């Protein structure tokens, strides 16, 4: 997708300020953007913790409302956190990888300025990713309502055994699930926790979600791929110390009879990649599909 040069005027900058060595690259990106004539808004906690308070700062909510583009420096966890919070504002995201895998933060730190220059001039590939809306209801009262870009997970606690869930899809009973947990993942999240639980990789353009049981009691229980128009309801029938987790960042302790409802959100995430972005090349690199065996 090609857009008009300088379509982005106010750039938000967010970093995983706890990461060692991140202060210098964040400062360099801020200076690069400032020298290019862009308005720079740095997330307040990021600025205060790494000494960038000389720049204009704002909370995440304020960034979402005031920025034309958000540049996220860190790993996928940082991207998930920012994406969940700015999704209602429709702010596109660019990810700079300072973490390990970086499925969504796909720009290498050493290539940041070159890649940003091209993107800011309209040279980029854009894609939109669906996200999930998850609610926890107890006795008819909604106790939590939040977003998840990767997944919603209902799982056993540290001191509990298997949990039991009654699962329905579009109000049609599917099964009583006995397992360590159940993952409801987007295509984005299919390469996260769901993949480690033997779930399938879903291409991000697929209008789908996947249900992946974690260590199910019945070995015939397998992942199920659904249309993302479906609404999934899970009722906890037994589960000591069970919890619901949204992108591994929002957590809620459950008691028996709590209901967790998951559906596609009305919001979407827009990711901007350097021109020529190739999803399958990214998978090969991140999952080491083309790596040679170690020498003996």
Domain count, the chain: 2
**Other C-beta atoms within 10 Å of 113: how many?**
15
Q: What is the pTM of this model?
A: 0.90
> Is 4 within the bounds of a domain?
no
Q: What is the CATH number of the domain that holds 29?
A: 3.40.50.10330
> Is 294 within the bounds of a domain?
no
Whether the CB-CB separation of 42 and 28 falls below 8 Å is answered with: no
63 or 214: which leads in pLDDT = 214
Name the residue range of residue 98's domain: 10-123+275-287
- Which tens digit of pLDDT belongs to each residue from 243-277? 999 999 999 999 999 999 999 999 999 999 999 99
> Is 16 within the bounds of a domain?
yes
End-to-end Cα distance, the chain: 47
> Is 37 within the bounds of a domain?
yes
281 shares a domain with 259 = no
Is the pLDDT at 3 greater than 70, yes or no? no
**Other C-beta atoms within 10 Å of 104: how many?**
27
> Is 296 within the bounds of a domain?
no
What secondary structure does DSSP assign to 46-93, as a single string?
Answer: HHHHHT-TTSEEE-HHHHHHH-SEEEEEE-HHHHHHHHHHHGGGT--E
> Is 219 within the bounds of a domain?
yes
137 shares a domain with 259 = yes
221 shares a domain with 154 = yes
146 shares a domain with 84 = no
- Point out the catalytic residue in the list 61, 76, 171, 228: 76
- Which tens digit of pLDDT belongs to each residue from 85-133? 899 999 999 999 876 667 888 898 889 999 999 999 999 999 999 999 9
248 shares a domain with 152 = yes
261 shares a domain with 140 = yes
Does an H or E element contain 31, and which?
A: helix 23-35
145 shares a domain with 86 = no
> Is 200 within the bounds of a domain?
yes
Q: What is the CATH number of the domain that holds 139?
A: 2.60.200.30
Active site residue 76: yes
Whether the CB-CB separation of 180 and 163 falls below 8 Å is answered with: yes
Kindly report the average pLDDT of the chain as a whole number: 90
> Is 5 within the bounds of a domain?
no
């Amino acid at each position: 997708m090609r857009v008009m040069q300088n379509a982005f005027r106010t750039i938000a900058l967010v970093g995983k300020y706890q990461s060692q060595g991140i202060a210098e690259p964040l400062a360099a990106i801020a200076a690069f953007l400032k020298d290019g004539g862009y308005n720079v808004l740095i997330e307040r906690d990021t600025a205060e913790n790494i000494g960038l308070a000389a720049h204009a700062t704002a909370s995440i909510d304020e960034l979402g409302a005031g920025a034309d583009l958000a540049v996220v420096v860190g790993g996928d966890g940082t991207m998930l956190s920012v994406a969940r919070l700015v999704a209602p504002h429709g702010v596109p995201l660019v990810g700079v990888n300072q973490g390990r895998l970086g499925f969504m933060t796909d720009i290498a730190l050493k290539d940041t300025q070159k890649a940003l220059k091209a993107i800011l001039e309209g040279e980029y590939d854009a894609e939109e990713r669906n996200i999930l809306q998850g609610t926890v209801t107890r006795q008819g009262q909604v106790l939590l309502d939040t977003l998840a870009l990767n997944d919603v997970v209902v799982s056993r606690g540290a001191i509990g055994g298997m949990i039991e869930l009654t699962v329905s899809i579009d109000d049609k009973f599917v099964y009583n699930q006995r397992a360590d947990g159940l993952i409801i993942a987007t295509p984005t999240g299919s390469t996260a926790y769901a993949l480690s639980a033997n779930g399938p990789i879903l291409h991000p353009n697929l209008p789908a979600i996947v249900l992946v049981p974690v260590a199910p009691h019945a070995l015939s229980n397998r992942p199920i791929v659904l249309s993302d128009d479906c609404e999934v309801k899970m009722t906890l029938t037994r589960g000591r110390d069970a919890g619901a987790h949204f992108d591994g960042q929002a957590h809620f302790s459950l008691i028996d009879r709590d209901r967790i409802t998951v559906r596609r959100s009305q919001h979407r995430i827009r990711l901007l990649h350097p021109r020529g972005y190739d999803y399958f090349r990214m998978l090969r690199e991140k999952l080491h599909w083309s790596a040679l065996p170690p020498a003996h």
